[in-house]
């Protein structure tokens, strides 16, 4: 993944389950040796909701320590930015842009 200001953040992963249009399950690994290159399992579900779609994004880490390190690395801020952009993009799609 490349950030807008230039830095790269190397990730890789494997899809484990795809149930269209309801559920995705996949692994992710942040390839940063200083963080131990942890791998986690992400589950994303999509449910119809009045006026839109409810998206639930769950991340399962191998340990509390890995989770805490992931949070300290800025993961939460990055996810908020990503989901905000997704919301803006899908809103624009609904307006025919």
Q: Tens of pLDDT along 34-67?
A: 666 778 999 999 999 998 889 999 999 988 988 8
Is there a domain that residue 5 lies in? no
Residue 1 placed within a domain: no
CATH number at residue 25: 3.30.530.20
Q: Please give the structure tokens belonging to residue 23.
A: 């559920």
- Domain hosting 66: range is 11-94
Phi, psi of 87 (to 5 degrees): -60, -45
Residue 19 lies in a domain: yes
Closest CA to 20 of 45, 52, 42, 48: 45
Q: How many domains does the chain have?
A: 1
Phi, psi of 72 (to 5 degrees): -65, -25
pLDDT at site 34: 65
| Separation of CA 69 from chain center | 16
Q: Is residue 73 assigned to a domain? A: yes
């Amino acid at each position: 993944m490349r950030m807008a200001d230039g830095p790269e953040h190397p990730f890789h992963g494997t899809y484990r389950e795809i149930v269209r249009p309801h559920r995705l399950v996949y692994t992710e690994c942040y390839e940063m040796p200083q963080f131990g290159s942890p791998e986690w399992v992400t589950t994303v579900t999509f449910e119809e909701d009045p006026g839109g779609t409810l998206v639930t994004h769950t991340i399962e880490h191998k340990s509390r320590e890995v989770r805490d390190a992931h949070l300290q690395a800025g993961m939460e801020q990055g996810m908020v930015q990503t989901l905000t952009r997704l919301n803006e993009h899908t809103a624009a799609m609904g307006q025919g842009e």
